Amino acid sequence: MQMREDIFKIITSLPEKDLQHQLLEQSTMLNYDKNDVIVREGQYVKTLPIVLEGSIRVFQTKEDREILLYYVEPGQTCMMSLSAGFFNQASAIKAVAASTCTILSVPTRCIAPWQRRFDSWNSFVLKTFRKRYGELLTVFESVAFDHIDKRILDYLRHRAKKTNTRQIQISHQMLADELGTTRVVISRILKQFETDGTLILGRGTIELK
Amino acid sequence: MQMREDIFKIITSLPEKDLQHQLLEQSTMLNYDKNDVIVREGQYVKTLPIVLEGSIRVFQTKEDREILLYYVEPGQTCMMSLSAGFFNQASAIKAVAASTCTILSVPTRCIAPWQRRFDSWNSFVLKTFRKRYGELLTVFESVAFDHIDKRILDYLRHRAKKTNTRQIQISHQMLADELGTTRVVISRILKQFETDGTLILGRGTIELK
DNA sequence: TCCATAGTGTATCTTTTGATACTGTTCGGC
DNA sequence: GCCGAACAGTATCAAAAGATACACTATGGA
């Protein structure tokens, strides 16, 4: 497999020579276009995707509604696939490419042996479990206890912080999909915020004040 | 430490002699009365509680509202404490004794070393992570997508199955606390179900048909 | 037996959210 | 410049859930 800079970064975070060797040996590299479905609900996962470039959106879905759980960013992996690697089980979530992205695809049969054998891999696995659990708890809290106006604002602020700009590029429809509601509701609340002076609306953009 | 039957059961599920020895050596046994608070939100956890007898209710809370996440039953442990054992962090949840209960209290400093050293402990840790993550996803799905009537019915059926009886001993207020709503809402929906013939209400009991 | 307390039934009102429908506007290709 | 698709504003209606208030009843002590 060709050695890219992003792979190099992952590799160096796993210092054991033997692990590095096996990782390069066993995995393949895959490319996805934006909106490609990577994992469907109910699907049995056979590989662990480690994101190299771009990011993956992970959703909980039910009929035609869906709610964003978290993003998988470069250097990270998906909780469900990890869980599926240890225990053969169907995915409870849906994963979609948030942008054009490249992933390192590790066969799930490798996960358990490596986890027992290599300290850095063990640590990677545990960190993933913890991170995803924490994120799920956070989303749960906001869905369970907060009204939509607060959830919208939290989402926008979080995103502004992540991309380090107050200009957020997102349509009302997209926002509705991420938060598990409908476009009309989002438009209504956003308009209220604009009247308040909390933000400024544009076509496809929202600017936080 | 005295050897009780319930400890014996845990011990035998962890076959490594050395691990058994350390477990008995390092842990202490604690008793809690019903409604004793075992972990508060924001508290830094120093021990991993393994339930021997009785059960623990784990909640997500916000101001005066709370929602049940899961129960910790005999032989099981809590996700947050485990996570706290690997990474020093504050608990995001609240744990309360659901009944009089006895727990085996393992210092968190033991968790990581044992996990790398003993196969059975490693497996115990991973199973706990997976189980709790799955449960959280299930609760999330019902809170995000289901109406309260369905959530009440799901709760009652799940509980009926668990205790293997159709007579459920719970007050409307308790039910409201578990599902994160108010007593009036529960009474209203339950009355509808009784009119439908789905169940029969008594003082402190609900009988599923 | 009396009484505080927990448990329950119910009515009324409000807020939040969802559903539907219709209008207009911007943008990119042709 | 035209046209379709994506994007946005808004009005109306209905359903779900929360808030509050009050009445009634069973239960278990003192």
* Helix, strand or coil, per DSSP, at residue A3: coil
CA distance B188 to B148: 11
For residue B1, the distance in angstroms to the closest alpha carbon of chain A comes to 30
Whether B171 CB is under 7 Å from strand D? no
For the stretch A164-205, pLDDT in tens is 999 999 999 999 999 999 999 999 999 999 999 999 999 999
Asked if B140 lies within 8 A of A141 by C-beta distance, the reply is: no
Name the H helices within A98-118.
108-117
Tokens 């953009």 belong to A205
CA distance B209 to B199: 5
Nucleotides of D under 7 A from a protein CB: 6-11, 16-21, 26-27
pLDDT score, position B160: 94
Give the rounded percent of residues in chain A with a pLDDT score beyond 90: 65
The residue among A39, A65, A126 with the most chain B CBs within 10 A of its CB, best to mutate, is: A126
* Helix, strand or coil, per DSSP, at residue B202: strand
Name the H helices within chain A.
5-12, 17-26, 79-86, 108-117, 119-145, 148-163, 172-179, 183-196
| Contact call for residues A129 and B80 (beta carbons, < 8 A) | no
Helix B172-179 crosses helix B183-196 at what angle (to 10 degrees)?
Answer: 110
Q: Whats the size of chain A, residue-wise?
A: 209
| Contact call for residues A77 and A50 (beta carbons, < 8 A) | yes
Residues in contact with A152: Cβ distance below 8 Å, sequence separation at least 6, in sequence order: A175, A179, A186, A189, A190, A193
Show pLDDT as tens, one digit a residue, over chain B (209 residues).
Answer: 555 777 778 888 899 999 999 998 999 999 998 888 999 888 898 899 999 989 999 999 887 788 999 999 999 998 888 887 788 888 989 999 998 899 999 998 898 899 889 999 999 999 999 999 999 999 999 999 999 999 999 999 999 998 899 999 999 999 999 999 999 999 999 999 999 999 999 999 999 98
The closest alpha carbon to A62, from A194, A180, A156, belongs to A180
The closest alpha carbon to A174, from A207, A204, A197, A195, belongs to A204
* Helix, strand or coil, per DSSP, at residue A75: coil
- Please calculate the CA angle B104-B106-B109 and round it to the nearest 5 degrees: 175
| Contact call for residues A11 and A118 (beta carbons, < 8 A) | no
Containing B123, the helix (H) or strand (E) segment is: helix B119-145
Instruction: Kindly list the residues from chain A whose CB atom is less than 8 angstroms away from the CB atom of residue B60.
Output: 137, 140-141, 144
**Quick check: ipTM above 0.95?**
no
The residue among B111, B145, B146 with the most chain A CBs within 10 A of its CB, best to mutate, is: B145
* Closest Cα in chain A to B144: A143
Backbone angles phi, psi at A71, to 5 degrees: -105, 145
**CA/C1' separation A203–D7 (Å):** 7
In chain A, positions 58-117 with C-beta closer than 7 Å to nucleic chain D are: none
Whether A149 CB is under 7 Å from strand C? yes
* Helix, strand or coil, per DSSP, at residue B102: strand
For the stretch A61-108, pLDDT in tens is 887 788 999 999 999 998 888 887 788 888 989 999 988 899 999 998
For residue A140, the distance in angstroms to the closest alpha carbon of chain B comes to 6
DSSP output for B1-43: ----HHHHHHHHTS--HHHHHHHHHH-EEEEE-TT-EEE-TTP
pLDDT score, position A2: 54
* Helix, strand or coil, per DSSP, at residue A180: coil
Domains of chain A, CATH where assigned: 5-145 (2.60.120.10), 148-208 (1.10.10.10)
Residues in contact with B164: Cβ distance below 8 Å, sequence separation at least 6, in sequence order: none
CA distance B18 to B146: 48
Computed from CA positions of residues A114, A6, A59, A144, in that sequence, does the dihedral angle turn out positive or negative?
A: positive
**Structure tokens, B182:** 């108010």
